[in-house]
Structures are given as C-alpha cells and as structure tokens.
Amino acid sequence: MKNKIVVIGSSNVDLIMKMDHLPQKGETVTDAFFMQTYGGKGANQAVAAARAGGNVAFINCVGQDAYTPQMVQNYKDDGIDTRYVFKMNNVTSGHALVMIGNEGVNYLSVAPGANYLLTNDMIDKAMPIIEEAAVIILQYEIPADTIKYVLDLATEKNIPTVWNFAPARAFDTNYLSKVTTLMLNEVEAGFLAGTATIKTTEEAEKAARILLNLGVKEVIITLGENGAVYFSSNEKHTMPAYKVDVVDTTSAGDVFAGSYAVGIVEGMTIKNAMRFANAASGLCVTKMGAQPSAPMRKEIEAFLKENV
C-alpha cells in the first residue's frame, strides 16, 4: 500500500510581529514582539504532515538569500524528502509579513518570489516521487497553470488530491471536477462558491453543495473557532473546535490539511481524520509562528486523550 504524502507548493520566510492591536491607517504601533521563522502554506502542510507521522515529500521552488539554506535544512530535520526542492538563482525565496493583533488574529501579505517559478517542467522532473504518492496536497501560492497541470496528472494517474484553496484567487472552476478533497476556510469558500463569506454551518453547507455540483468529490470548510464541516454527496460531518488559549492562528488551516492527509493515508475514517486534524490545529494556535507551532504526533495523541 502506498503511504507517501506528496506536498506540492510554496515555502516562505515569515517575518512576524505580534502587537496588542493592529495599526489603523497612518498609525504606528510600537512595542511589538518580533520573530523570524519559516512558513508558506505548502511547507507548513509538509511539516505538519511529517510531524503528525506522515511519510512526506515536498516539491517546491526556493531562491537565493541568507534564510533559504536553513529553511531547507529544517525540512530535512523533520524527515521530509527534499530531493525535489528546486533552487533558482537571481530570485529570493517567498517572503511573508505577518502582523498578529489581539486574540491571535492576523494580517498577512506575501511576496511569492521563487514560488511562482514552480513550473510544469519541475513537476515532470519530480515524477518518480509523484508516482509513489498515496495523496497529493496542493495550496494556491504557486501558479494556477502548475495547479492545473498537477490536477490533470493526478486524474490521469488516479492519485487522490487535497487542494487547500488558499489564498483565494481566481481559478477556472471547470477544473474542480479533478479535485478529490477541496479544503477552504469561510472566506475562501464564499469566494469560490460565489456566496458571501460563510458565518454559519447552514451557509457552509450551501456553499459546499455549490462546489460539489461543480464536480469536487468532498468539501471541508474550516470555520476557525466554530470548527470544521465535511460534505460529500452522501456524507456530512460537523466537528466543533477544541477550546484552547489562542496565541496565533497563522497556519491553523495548514496544520489541519497536513494532519488530515496523514489520517486519511493511515486509513482513519473521515470523522476520525477530522478529529485528528482538529486536535493538531487546536494545538497549533496555542503557539507563535507557522512551522514552530506544528505539533508532533505524540502531542496530538496526548491532546486527544485529554479532550475526548
């Protein structure tokens, strides 16, 4: 049985400031706490899946700057296969500016750098590892053409895909029929389904039904403090969020995606995989930073024992 989780996507150097309130237009907020760490939705998902117990390979494109060697070394230290992390000259790696205000709410802006150079020919070079995939995870911080290319390939090779449609931006919805599991938050689901931002589980179901009608097999909508919901043509699950002390919500969705994939590849039921992913993202929001906050398998299991 194949068990490899192949994550195809972005990596970023994250520059984070936590402050007691986010600045208004023209305001300077002083006394912020600064932290430089590593992020990017693809890398966060790869790290989360590896720490949750997955056998992970990461296909990614990085640039040349002082931070990049350590960024890639960290993936190796987490046991991730980095043979297909491509390095480009004369471009920086992706960078993100993260501002965290009270209650862990964040503002994010991203300069994609080398992430936008992850192209179809690199995917072709990574074919040996793609052939081994039990599941492919994608996000949306790489070019739309690359996403389409991978979805075509995965369909042809019969490999299930988890597409975390984040961040939300225009996409050819004809391609959604090639997605096995579409994972999005309340803003992204509203954007893709053409509804308003989702506020209730009823609205989530309405958006999910629109997306299922476009050909997606399964839809998972993460609803922050309201948990997560799953819909397919014949199943529906609601998973309330765990009550935890929130420090930083950055990468909660990434940790959910990476650990959910581990659950599915291990043969957990959808409900149990969601519970596992919910626990992992609940732990993630109690710590600062994207990759530093992705929990280890033993932490997830201990949390699940304590929070039945």
Alpha carbon distance 74, 293 (integer Å) = 14
Q: Please, which residue, 96 or 270, has the CB nearer to ligand RIB?
A: 96
User: Among 184, 182, 129, which residue's Cα sits nearest to residue 157?
Assistant: 129
CB 85 within 8 A of CB 75: yes
Helix (H, G, I), strand (E, B) or coil at 150: helix
In whole angstroms, the minimum distance from the beta carbon of 97 to ligand RIB comes to 9
Tokens representing 306 are: 């304590």
Q: Please, which residue, 96 or 264, has the CB nearer to ligand RIB?
A: 96
Q: Please, which residue, 71 or 290, has the CB nearer to ligand RIB?
A: 290
Give Cβ neighbours of residue 189 (< 8 Å, ≥ 6 apart): 195, 198, 204, 207, 208, 211, 219, 221
Separation of CA 290 from chain center: 11
Which residue in the list 78, 81, 248, 254 is annotated as catalytic?
254
**Interface with ligand RIB (CB under 6 A):** 12, 14, 39-41, 44, 96, 108, 110, 141, 250-251, 254, 290
In whole angstroms, the minimum distance from the beta carbon of 174 to ligand RIB comes to 26
Identify whether 254 is a catalytic site residue. Answer: yes
Q: Please, which residue, 47 or 159, has the CB nearer to ligand RIB?
A: 47
Q: Please, which residue, 185 or 226, has the CB nearer to ligand RIB?
A: 185
- The residue ranges of DSSP E strands in 29-153, in sequence order, are 33-39, 55-62, 85-87, 94-100, 106-111, 133-138
CB 256 within 8 A of CB 278: yes
The residues with which 183 forms a beta bridge, in sequence order, are 164, 220
Q: Which residues are catalytic?
A: 254
